[in-house]
Structure 1
Amino acid sequence: MHEQEQAVQLRKTRGLATGLLVAMAFLFLVSRSLMPRYPYLSFVAAFAEAAMVGALADWFAVTALFRHPLGVPIPHTAIIPRNKDRIADSLSNFLEHNFITQEIIRAEMRPIDFAGAAAAWLSQPENSKAISRQIVRSVPTLLRVIEDEDVRQFMHGRLTSALAHAKFAPMVAEVLSVLVASNRHQALFNQLIEVAARALEHNKDYIRWKIHENSPRWLPKAIDEKFYHRLLDAVESTLNEMREEDSEWRLRFSNMAEDFIEQLRTSPVYEEKLDTMISEVLGHPITRDYMLHIWRDIKTRLEADIASPDSHIAARLDQGFRSFGNELLGDARVQRKLNQWIRIFATETIVARREMIADLVVRVIRKWDADTMSRKLELHVGKDLQYIRINGTLVGGLVGLVLHAISRFL
């Protein structure tokens, strides 16, 4: 509720309580003045007198919480302003140990279906489209940041630093070991054989010409042809032998691959050579120019697509979000796991920071002056406290009436 609204309601209830006190005082004066003529008005006077006492006592009690009654510094009044810091500490401690606990937060979060609500929201076309367009609209800003010279220098520095400390040889060795373990290196061997076979097939005329070109002039051409055919037969026979699953060539290739992997893992020479090669390639002006050209091309395409009302990126994002929402909506098992993870994460995060949250309450209250503290609390609870004054007036009057009746009939 807005503070202005709270102030209006507080003024109304305070006026009602004060008006009731004034009414009791008027009733007391009238009844006391008419008692000689109408003795039964003593009961009304007793009710009004006791009601005034109750109203004044409760007015004093309520007022003493927030300020000195009538501005008189009576001891044990203006309780809230005088104890502002102690109240802040107590409130912080109460909040930390009675609200921000594992049990309470977990119990409060248990009925909430985070994953289901998110999935239902994403599955709605207007929502998935809205979030997709919002992401797409943020891309130009991101591109402008990346184009900034300071950012570019920072990223280049971080990349250079990362490359300087990176160990490429062990990484390459791990990748190659996975390929060897799954027998993928034999597929590479097959590809190499086929490349050699195609090269031989496409260059037969050239091989024949080179043989004729380099043979002695006195040697008959028939011998050149015979040598050419024998050479082709030998090469083709060797390639066919290589194609066999259990050929010695394959075994040699496997041993060579395993030896190369081991050298990559253990040899500092291989590590140095690979690092040098990668650094030279990445640092070469041609590479930098090529990467810059690729980046500019990508940026131009992105900007053109984003500016289009029929953006393919936005459409793909929209479709992806909606598909994810629909699939998640239909998978209760995944929803349960996500909800459990969210609850655990949220609970641990909040509880781990409960001291920080409680300290925030203390810091904010300590920054308030005494009048601000009193005003804020009075706006929030003052309306109910004014009803205590009203109840005290009525209850006090009834008690006075009962006591007067008892004294009359004894």
Structure 2
Amino acid sequence: MTEIEQAQQLSKTRRLATGLLFAMAALFVLSRLFQPRYPFLSFVSAFAEAAMVGALADWFAVTALFRSPLNLPIPHTAIIPRNKDRIGDSLSNFLEHNFITQEIIREELRPMDFAGAAASWLSKPENSQAVSRQIVRSVPSLLKLIEDDDVRHFMQSRLASALERTEIAPLLAELLSSLVARGHHRALFHHLIGMASAAMENNKPYIRWKIHESSPRWMPKAVDEKVYERLLEAIQSTLDEMRDDDSEWQTRFQRVADDFIAKLRTSPEYEKKIDAVLGDVLGHPLVRDYAVQVWHDIKAKLVADAASPESALAAKLEQAVGAFGTELLGDQKVQKKLNQWIRIFATETIVGRRQDIADLVARVIRKWDAETMSRKLELHVGRDLQYIRINGTIVGGLVGLILHAVTLLLWQSGA
């Protein structure tokens, strides 16, 4: 509801309460004028008189909250304007300790299905398309923030500096150790043997030609052919032997790998060699220029794709977002975990910042002038306070009527 609507409702209710006061005043005057002729009007007069008293008392009380009644300097009036800052501090403290608490926030967030709502929304094609298109449209703006000079500067200084502070050899040792532990080194060994066997098979004519070329001219061709066949058989037999998991070749390869990993972990010399190689590679102008050129090509392709109505990136992203929403929608277990994580995160964040949130209330109220403070509060609660005036008028009249009746009864019993 806007402030204009609140002001209209407040004015309407205030006119009703004030009109009721004037009506009681008119009723009081009329009943007193005709009471000598119609004695029963004493009850009406008593009701109207007490109603006026109640209405005036409540009018004074309600008005005193926001301003001095009739602009008279009466003590303890204009309570809100005179105590604006204190009220702001009290509201801030009340909000902090009675609303922004672990128990309340957690309980309020408990029934909310954040993950389910997000999954249901993302699973709809029009929504996943809207999300993907919005992300893709933001790509050119993000890329414009990163100039080519920034990339070049990063390659020249930041990356090199980061590598200088990082010990590469131990990291490489851990990586190789993990690969060896999973047996990937054996797969590499077999792959190398396979490459050697394929190379020999594909180059048999060349090997035969080299043997014939290197043999003396007086050597018979049959002898060269025999040497060629024996050589191939020996090589193939060796390769087959190397493929055996229990062969001495694989044991040696295992020892070489373990020794290399141990030296990477402990040898400063290996660290220096690796640093020198990386420094030479990354510091070389060709590498830096190539990296910048690659970045420039990637950026150009991304910008062109983002501008295209048939964006491949948007299509892939739309498919991924939709699939994610659909998968999440069907996985209650993951939804439960996500909801729990979101609730914990939101609760900790809100409660951790509750003093800042509460202080915001106090700061805003301090910035308001007294008139603004009174007007805003009156717009929000003034309509209900006007009903207090109406109720005071009616209740006051009923109390006056009862007292008048009791007085008559006591008078008659005494007579």
Deviations 1:213-244 (A, max 9, x none): 66677877777666555544443443333222
SS of the equivalent of 1:75 reads coil
- Counterpart residue type for residue 172 of structure 1: L
Query: Using the alignment, how far apart are the partners of 1:237 and 1:111 within structure 2?
Result: 71
Residues 261 and 367 (structure 1), Cα distance of their counterparts in 2 relative to 1, 3 Å cut: same
1:127 paired residue number? 127
Query: Using the alignment, how far apart are the partners of 2:247 and 2:292 within structure 1?
Result: 47
Deviations 1:65-85 (A, max 9, x none): 111111112111111122222
2:17 paired residue number? 17
SS of the equivalent of 2:63 reads helix
- Counterpart residue type for residue 118 of structure 2: A
Query: Using the alignment, how far apart are the partners of 2:160 and 2:72 within structure 1?
Result: 74
SS of the equivalent of 2:173 reads helix
1:7 paired residue number? 7
SS of the equivalent of 2:392 reads helix
Query: Using the alignment, how far apart are the partners of 1:271 and 1:407 within structure 2?
Result: 108
1:61 aligns with 2:61: yes
Confirm or deny: 8 A CA contact 1:88 1:366 kept in the other structure.
yes
- Counterpart residue type for residue 297 of structure 2: D
1:167 paired residue number? 167
1:192 aligns with 2:192: yes
Residues 285 and 96 (structure 1), Cα distance of their counterparts in 2 relative to 1, 3 Å cut: same
Q: Which runs of 5+ in 2 are unaligned?
A: 411-415
SS of the equivalent of 1:245 reads coil
Query: Using the alignment, how far apart are the partners of 2:155 and 2:27 within structure 1?
Result: 85
1:341 paired residue number? 341
1:285 aligns with 2:285: yes
1:359 aligns with 2:340: no
1:251 paired residue number? 251
- Counterpart residue type for residue 388 of structure 1: I
2:142 paired residue number? 142
Query: Using the alignment, how far apart are the partners of 2:239 and 2:141 within structure 1?
Result: 58
Confirm or deny: 8 A CA contact 1:146 1:152 kept in the other structure.
no
Residues 247 and 111 (structure 1), Cα distance of their counterparts in 2 relative to 1, 3 Å cut: same
My pick for the range that moved more, 273-282 or 144-153, is 144-153
Query: Using the alignment, how far apart are the partners of 1:119 and 1:400 within structure 2?
Result: 65
2:373 paired residue number? 373
My pick for the range that moved more, 161-170 or 233-242, is 233-242
- Counterpart residue type for residue 122 of structure 2: L
2:314 paired residue number? 314
- Counterpart residue type for residue 330 of structure 1: G
Query: Using the alignment, how far apart are the partners of 1:222 and 1:403 within structure 2?
Result: 144
Confirm or deny: 8 A CA contact 2:215 2:224 kept in the other structure.
yes
Query: Using the alignment, how far apart are the partners of 1:255 and 1:100 within structure 2?
Result: 63
SS of the equivalent of 1:146 reads coil
1:109 paired residue number? 109
- The Cα of 1:359 is off from its aligned counterpart by 1.3
SS of the equivalent of 2:309 reads coil
Query: Using the alignment, how far apart are the partners of 2:3 and 2:155 within structure 1?
Result: 49
Task: Output the TM-score relative to the length of structure 1.
Answer: 0.92
**Paired-residue identity, %:** 71
Residues 158 and 393 (structure 1), Cα distance of their counterparts in 2 relative to 1, 3 Å cut: farther
- The Cα of 1:188 is off from its aligned counterpart by 1.3
- The Cα of 1:56 is off from its aligned counterpart by 0.8
Query: Using the alignment, how far apart are the partners of 2:67 and 2:5 within structure 1?
Result: 22
Confirm or deny: 8 A CA contact 1:24 1:52 kept in the other structure.
yes
- The Cα of 1:307 is off from its aligned counterpart by 2.0
Confirm or deny: 8 A CA contact 1:145 1:151 kept in the other structure.
no
Query: Using the alignment, how far apart are the partners of 2:56 and 2:159 within structure 1?
Result: 77
Query: Using the alignment, how far apart are the partners of 1:406 and 1:154 within structure 2?
Result: 95
1:300 aligns with 2:300: yes
2:413 paired residue number? none
1:52 paired residue number? 52
Confirm or deny: 8 A CA contact 2:105 2:347 kept in the other structure.
yes
- Counterpart residue type for residue 178 of structure 2: V
Confirm or deny: 8 A CA contact 1:120 1:329 kept in the other structure.
yes
Query: Using the alignment, how far apart are the partners of 2:340 and 2:198 within structure 1?
Result: 59
- The Cα of 1:97 is off from its aligned counterpart by 1.4
- Counterpart residue type for residue 166 of structure 2: A
1:403 paired residue number? 403
SS of the equivalent of 1:85 reads helix
Query: Using the alignment, how far apart are the partners of 2:83 and 2:148 within structure 1?
Result: 54
My pick for the range that moved more, 25-34 or 89-98, is 25-34
SS of the equivalent of 1:100 reads coil
Q: Which runs of 5+ in 1 are unaligned?
A: none
Query: Using the alignment, how far apart are the partners of 1:122 and 1:226 within structure 2?
Result: 72
Task: Output the TM-score relative to the length of structure 2.
Answer: 0.91
The root-mean-square deviation of aligned C-alpha atoms, in Å, is 2.3
1:275 aligns with 2:275: yes
1:328 paired residue number? 328
Residues 384 and 148 (structure 1), Cα distance of their counterparts in 2 relative to 1, 3 Å cut: farther
- Counterpart residue type for residue 117 of structure 2: A
- The Cα of 1:50 is off from its aligned counterpart by 1.2
Residues 227 and 154 (structure 1), Cα distance of their counterparts in 2 relative to 1, 3 Å cut: closer
Q: How many residues align?
A: 410
- The Cα of 1:334 is off from its aligned counterpart by 1.6
Query: Using the alignment, how far apart are the partners of 1:221 and 1:333 within structure 2?
Result: 76
- The Cα of 1:102 is off from its aligned counterpart by 1.4
